[in-house]
Amino acid sequence: MKLKDETKVAAETLDQAKKQEEVAAAAAAEEEEVAVEVEPKTGISFPVKLADGKELMTVGMYYDKEKLKENLKTKIDSKASTKPTKEMYQAVIDSDSAMTVRLVIVFSSLTMNMVKKNFDEGLGASIKKLTGGKKNDDLANKVMGAASDGIKLSSGSVIEISRLPGNVLQTKVVDEVISKVDSELLCRAYVNMYLGDDPLDKEAKEKFGMQLLSMF
C-alpha cells in the first residue's frame, strides 16, 4: 500500500512539473508574441517578428535578415559609408529577398475600393519609373484587382503584401490570399515604392537603411 502511495505521489509530482513547464513555455511564447514596436505618427503597433521569422526593419516592413545579408554581402561595404547610399537601396530592390509589408488600416471609413484605387495608382507610378515611363496598368491591377469591394475594412484590419522567393508577389487582405503574381518587375516596383527615390515614407526608408548598415 505504501509503495502504491509513493508511486502515486511521484506521478503527481511529475504531472505538476510538466504543467509548470507548459505554463512557462506558454508565458514565454506569449511574451514573444506581444513584443511590438509602436509607430509614433499613428500609434499602430507592429510585432517585431512575424510567425515566419521575418524581422521588423522599419515601419511595417519585414525581412529575413540573415537571408538578406547573405544576398547582399558582396554588394554592400559598410566600411565605405556611414550612411545608406542609393546603390544600397537599389541592391535591395533588385534582390530576390523575401519580404513582407504589413499595412494596418487606421481609419474605419476606408473602403476596399478606395484602398485598391490608391494602391494601383502608386504601384503603377512605380512601374513607370522602372520602365522609363512605360505604363503597365494591367500588371499593377493584378495585385489588388481580385479583392472584392465587399470586403469590410475596420480600424486595425491588416493587409499583407509579400515578395516570395522566385519573384512572386502575394497579397493577403484580412488573412485571405487574394492574389499571387509571378513578376520580377512587379516585385521590384513594389519594393521601389518604399525604398526608391520617391518613397512613401522618407523617414521609414532612412530607418531601413540604417538597419541595413548595422547588419554588416
| 66-80 pLDDT, tens digit each | 999 998 888 877 666
For the chain, domain boundaries: 2-34, 45-214
Give the model's pLDDT for residue 138.
Answer: 95
Give the model's pLDDT for residue 10.
Answer: 54
Helical H runs in the chain? 2-33, 65-72, 86-94, 112-130, 137-144, 184-195, 202-214
CB count in 10 Å sphere of residue 4: 8
What's the start-to-end Cα distance of the chain, in Å?
67
* pTM (2 d.p.): 0.81
The CATH fold assigned to 45-214 is Chalcone isomerase (3.50.70)
CA dist 13 and 21 (Å) reads 12
State whether residue 190 is helix, strand or coil.
Answer: helix
